[in-house]
Amino acid sequence: MSENGLSCIDPRMTVLDILSRHRETEVVFKAWDRRAGECICCRALFDTLQQVADRYGLDLDLLMDEIDTVASQTDAPIGDRKQALSNLPSNREKSNG
């Protein structure tokens, strides 16, 4: 969520909508590819986040939180953005497994 507590991400937004507005969120989608079993940006670009979560059995709230975290870091210094990325649950899972 953003600093004011409002999310800039909505489950009705398509993957393309999100990537068009927040290019930096591609890293989140890439991090979730393993769970989905395929490239989300390649296979579900025109699907809404809700459809993506339903299709791949993903936790929609967690996915939206991670996308929103990265999207809200756009104006943050590079070091802060890298720290935020490393703290995402999907990235911590990768380093543990």
Q: pTM score > 0.85 for this model? A: no
Question: Residue 14: helix, strand or coil by DSSP?
Answer: strand
Mean of pLDDT values over 62-83: 76
Q: Determine the Cα–Cα distance for residues 30 and 84; give it in Å rounded to an integer.
A: 15
pLDDT at 25 over 70: yes
Q: Give domain limits for the chain.
A: 21-82
Which residue has better confidence, 24 or 82?
Answer: 24
pLDDT at 31 over 60: yes
Residue 82's CB is within 10 A of a number of other CB atoms, namely 12
Which two tokens mark 52? 């993506």
Looking up tokens 């996308």 gives 67
**Exposure class string for 14-34: b at 16+ Cβ within 10 A, else e:** bbebbbeebeebebbbebbbe
